């Protein structure tokens, strides 16, 4: 796994600043006022900080951004990083400032002179998340990412457990989503999840024979063209009392060729990220375990590979779901909903959850609708969707509620079976959600998150480099914390 930078927290010692090597960071508000830490560095550097702050360049800098002054006189440090940030920043600005520090840091060690700055934990989380670097398959010598030391007024008040748990969960999701499919096979994926048992989680891996016995014909048809066996992994975190768990369900297609309905070659290499929903579920479960969440949560992921072969499911085939419904597979590239249909039903049948959220890189249509800024939220429950949207907003992870209604059902009605697996291009993301809704029991509050546009991006975001983002780990962790923990 990609390792987090080592982070330490200690009391401010201004007399030690001149001898600090690597990079030294200070914060200056938009009004140009410097705290004791910034004034100390300014004095040692012969007023280099003051010259920057009084310049038009500093005035033009957006809030929560940084600039680096290289090789300052009077300090052992190789550079001073000046961050423009108010003393009592918002959570969003604090994390963005941390991300700005990470971009300036690179492989160097960094000492952050934060003093009594507000939201230091969020600054630290921003540093950790933006410092991610997936380089497992590069042969060049690794430079490392450098350690980060925070000098603060009250180090004992920083919740380092929460920072570590969230960052580890996001990194886990990003690593899984970034891995190529010849490395993250269905077997390897299940093995990585089984390792979460070391954190006190109960993990079960259901093999194909068990899935056949359960009647998961929809899930199994997706993987029947691959030499890699299909699996379902069940992760249980029992940190609460005797109450029924909340359920998280994920689509884990480790590679999606489209099957017999073969995708175009251009861009198909990106389909290693089609297990992004299962990746997010896995990252959330890891975060909950690391911080010892006082809640009962079950994560269930269906892991398959969609390949064309002589054994592959064909357009026009009819398969039987675990629920018993018959599905005509009119397009083998609409495979994720087939996986989720059986996993959703299994999760409800076995665990009787108090609520359920599934995540999937399900449709290109949601990217057309919402771009790469928001995930689509479809739900049968206003309270559940409202609670999730609130948590996503608090964590700065974009999400937007989309409609579902019986009016769309006619698009997936089928003359030879109970339903077909796609309604075509019109309302593509909505008909996919309508398909899933047929496998949700009336008594189960449920939300479907279509994360096709946010799971992996081609350009860096504020808190992540290009590639897998880990979107959803922070929002779902907050959702569980705010709604299901005492």
Q: Mean pLDDT, to the nearest integer, of 434-445?
A: 98
Q: Which fold has domain 7-158?
A: 3.40.220
State the average pLDDT over residues 70-90.
Answer: 96
Q: In whole angstroms, what is the distance from residue 60 CA to residue 397 CA?
A: 27
Return the pLDDT at 232: 99
Tokens representing 140 are: 């060049």
145 pLDDT band, cuts 50/70/90, is confident
Dihedral (C-alpha) 477, 169, 466, 374: value to the nearest 10 degrees? -20
Task: Give the C-alpha separation, 266 to 469, whole Å.
Answer: 22
pLDDT in tens, 91-103: 999 999 999 999 9
**Domain-by-domain residue ranges, the chain?**
7-158, 165-484
Reported as a single tens digit per residue, the pLDDT across 313-364 is 999 999 999 999 999 999 999 999 999 999 999 999 999 999 999 999 999 9
What is d(CA 449, CA 170) in angstroms, rounded to the nearest whole number?
17
Alpha helices in 371-452 (DSSP H): 382-394, 428-437
| Contact status, residue 46 vs residue 74, Cβ threshold 8 Å | yes
Q: What single string gives the DSSP state of each residue in 268-331?
A: GGGGGGGGHHHHHHHHHHHHHHHTT-SSEEEEEEEEEEE--STTS--TTEEEE-TTS-EEEES-
| Band (236; pLDDT cuts 50, 70, 90) | very high
Average pLDDT over residues 171-185: 98
CA–CA gap between residue 13 and residue 70 (Å, rounded): 23
Catalytically active residues are 263, 337
Q: Does the pLDDT value for residue 78 go beyond 80?
A: yes
Q: 301-315 as b/e, with b when 16 or more CB fall inside 10 Å?
A: bbbbbbbbeeebbee
The answer regarding whether domain 165-484 maps to CATH 3.40.630.10 reads yes
pLDDT at 294: 98
Average pLDDT of the chain, as a whole number: 97
Instruction: Give the pLDDT band (50/70/90) at residue 260.
Output: very high
Rounded to 5 degrees, φ, ψ at 482 are: -80, -25
Q: Measure the CA–CA gap between 78 and 93, rounded to whole angstroms.
A: 26
Sequence-separated contacts (24+) of 266-272 with Cβ below 8 Å: 270/456, 271/181, 272/177, 272/178, 272/179, 272/180, 272/181, 272/184
482 pLDDT tier (thresholds 50, 70, 90): very high
pTM of this prediction exceeds 0.95: yes
pLDDT given for residue 1 in this prediction: 81
pLDDT digits (tens, 9 = 90+) for 271-284: 999 999 999 999 99
Q: What is the pLDDT of residues 131-142, one digit of tens each?
A: 999 999 999 866
Q: Is residue 27's pLDDT more than 80?
A: yes
């Amino acid at each position: 796994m990609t390792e987090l930078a080592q982070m330490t927290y200690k009391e401010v010692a201004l007399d030690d600043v001149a001898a600090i090597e690597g990079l030294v960071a200070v914060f200056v508000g938009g009004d140009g006022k410097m705290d004791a830490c910034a004034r100390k560095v300014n004095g040692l550097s012969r007023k280099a900080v003051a010259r920057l702050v009084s310049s038009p360049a500093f005035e033009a800098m957006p809030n929560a951004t940084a600039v680096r002054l290289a090789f300052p006189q009077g300090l052992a440090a190789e550079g001073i990083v000046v961050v423009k940030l108010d003393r009592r920043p918002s959570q969003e600005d604090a994390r963005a400032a941390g991300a700005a520090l990470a971009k300036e840091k690179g492989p160097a060690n960094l000492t952050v002179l934060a003093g009594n700055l507000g939201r230091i934990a969020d600054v630290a989380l921003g540093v950790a998340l933006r410092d991610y670097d997936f380089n497992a398959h590069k042969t060049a010598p690794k430079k490392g990412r450098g350690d980060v030391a925070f000098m603060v007024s009250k180090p004992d008040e920083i919740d380092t457990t929460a920072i570590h748990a969230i960052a580890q969960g996001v990194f886990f999701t990003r690593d899984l989503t970034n891995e190529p499919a010849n490395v993250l096979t269905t077997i390897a994926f299940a093995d990585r999840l089984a390792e979460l048992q070391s954190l006190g989680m109960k993990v079960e891996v259901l093999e194909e024979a068990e899935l056949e016995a359960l009647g998961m014909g929809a899930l199994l048809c997706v993987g029947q063209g691959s030499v890699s066996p299909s699996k379902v992994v069940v992760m249980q975190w029992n940190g609460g009392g005797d109450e029924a768990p909340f359920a998280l369900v994920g689509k884990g297609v480790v590679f999606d060729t489209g099957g017999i309905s073969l995708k175009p070659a251009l861009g198909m290499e990106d389909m290693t990220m089609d297990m992004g929903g299962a990746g997010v579920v896995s990252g959330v479960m890891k975060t909950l375990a690391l911080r010892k969440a006082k809640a009962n949560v079950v994560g269930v992921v269906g892991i398959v590979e969609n390949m064309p072969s002589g054994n592959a499911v064909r357009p026009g085939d009819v398969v039987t779901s675990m629920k018993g419904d018959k599905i005509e597979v009119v397009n083998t590239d609409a495979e994720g909903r087939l996986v989720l249909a059986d996993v959703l039903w299994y999760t409800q049948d076995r665990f009787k959850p108090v609520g359920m959220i599934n995540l999937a890189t399900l449709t290109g249509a949601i990217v057309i609708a919402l771009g790469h800024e928001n995930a689509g939220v479809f739900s049968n429950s206003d309270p559940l969707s409202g609670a999730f949207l609130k948590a996503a907003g608090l964590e700065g992870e974009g999400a937007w509620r989309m409609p579902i209604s019986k009016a769309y059902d006619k698009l997936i009605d089928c003359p030879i079976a109970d339903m077909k697996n796609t309604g075509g291009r019109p309302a593509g993301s909505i008909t996919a959600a309508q398909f899933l809704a047929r496998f949700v029991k009336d008594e189960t509050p449920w939300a479907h998150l279509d994360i096709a546009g946010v799971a992996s991006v081609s350009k860096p975001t504020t808190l992540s480099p290009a590639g897998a983002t880990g979107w959803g780990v922070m929002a779902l962790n907050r959702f569980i914390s705010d709604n299901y923990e005492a």
